[in-house]
Amino acid sequence: MKLRLPAEWEIQDGVMMAWPHEGTDWNYLLDDARSVYADIICAVSRFERVLLVAVDAESVVEYLHKAGADMKNITVCVASYNDTWTRDYGPVTVQFNNSPVMLDFGFNGWGLKYPANYDNLVSKQLKQQGMFQPKLNTVGFILEGGSIESDGLGTILTTAECLLSPNRNPQLDKSEIEQALTSLLGTQRVLWLNHGYLAGDDTDSHVDTLARICPDNTIVYQACNNPVDEHFAELMEMKRELEEFTAPDGSPYRLLPLPWPKARFDEQAHRLPATYANFLIINGAVLVPTYDDHENDQTALEHISQAFPGREIIGINCLPLLDQHGSLHCVTMQLPQGVLP
């Protein structure tokens, strides 16, 4: 039996997203949010398919057509959902004996912080509608896609703050969680980050906001070079942890730092979790969040291009997404080859 969790840079059928509507938390900035989503969908549809969940398919198709999306690469399906963070409630696809199997992990609103009764059923709704080819297995384990990074070879990078959260799988200790990752994802080793956070992040430090595994034993990570910033000490400690990790062949990882974006705040002066690490890898391209911060945005694009030679690096202005404490990777879930009919 061979079980593994593919790396994000492996060949994909498409990307799953959910369209912002009046019943989501985007309601107060719906136009801005939809504009960002359309930018992401237009970019993805140049390279692969988009499976878009909506509550009103007709109006969404009209919107995206006007936005210039490649509609032949977009499938809009109707389902109920609380919000649009498909990274965390979408299906996680593993390879079992070289065939895809989809895992429907439990989603409880990032540790019981937010309602998730509809989000938790989206994957089942899509399977029932014939949107997925492989078997969909319901798993009695709470896990969000944004909380794990895979190299496709058995290594998982994650954070202790999230996976050991008492509101996710309180019945399991650290070793039992590692055993669950092994049995469910084929994990051979877990690299635990005990440091690193972003103010305003309500996911309990999802690793996809902090450090990302990339091809050729490379890790791209969010750095902070401002000693007076509240994140400086924690992100420096995270860097030291990354420096101590070794790749499967025993060599140190090649580490590529990302610039520290300009601080952003909401109307109540609360810090928002801006990060360049929240990028999405698709066939032939990498979509990178930008924040109207020209110098740092450009540096981030250049550094990420070093990790993905030969892929087009596309910046997407994700400033509006910060208002709901997420960014580009959070609103997407890749669907590996063999998933879409």
49-54/12-18 β-pairing: parallel
Kind and range of the H or E run holding 168: none
* Rounded Cα gap, residues 119 and 209, in angstroms: 21
* Rounded Cα gap, residues 162 and 155, in angstroms: 17
C-alpha torsion sign, points 252, 256, 259, 265: negative
* Rounded Cα gap, residues 177 and 180, in angstroms: 5
Residue range(s) defining the domain that contains residue 147: 3-336
Sheet (strand 149-150) strand order: 149-150, 155-159, 189-193
Q: What is the pLDDT of residue 247?
A: 97
The CATH code of the domain that includes 227 is 3.75.10.10
Tell me the mean pLDDT in the region 290-303. 98
280-282/254-258 β-pairing: unpaired
- Give 250's DSSP letter: S
C-alpha torsion sign, points 155, 156, 157, 161: negative
Q: What is the pLDDT of residue 105?
A: 98
In-domain check, residue 306? yes
Q: What is the CA radius of gyration of the chain?
A: 19
In-domain check, residue 111? yes
Residues paired with residue 258 on neighbouring β-strands, in sequence order: 222
Tell me the mean pLDDT in the region 40-67. 97
| pLDDT surpassing 90 at residue 1 | no
In-domain check, residue 151? yes
| pLDDT tens sequence across 11-23 | 999 999 999 999 9
In-domain check, residue 211? yes
* Rounded Cα gap, residues 207 and 330, in angstroms: 11
Residue (of 49, 53, 50) closest to 78 by Cα position: 53
| pLDDT tens sequence across 219-257 | 999 999 999 999 999 999 999 999 999 999 999 999 999
Q: What is the pLDDT of residue 238?
A: 98
Positions of E strands within 206-270:
211-214, 218-222, 254-258
In-domain check, residue 341? no
Tell me the mean pLDDT in the region 180-201. 98
In-domain check, residue 113? yes
| Number of domains comprising the chain | 1
CB 313 within 8 A of CB 301: yes
| pLDDT tens sequence across 126-163 | 999 999 999 999 999 999 999 999 999 999 999 999 99
In-domain check, residue 7? yes
Q: How confident is the model at residue 56 (pLDDT cuts 50, 70, 90)?
A: very high
In-domain check, residue 67? yes
What pTM did the predictor assign? 0.98
| Phi, psi (degrees; rounded to nearest 5) at 252 | -65, 150
Q: What is the pLDDT of residue 276?
A: 98
| pLDDT surpassing 80 at residue 173 | yes
Tell me the mean pLDDT in the region 99-125. 98
Kind and range of the H or E run holding 13: strand 12-18
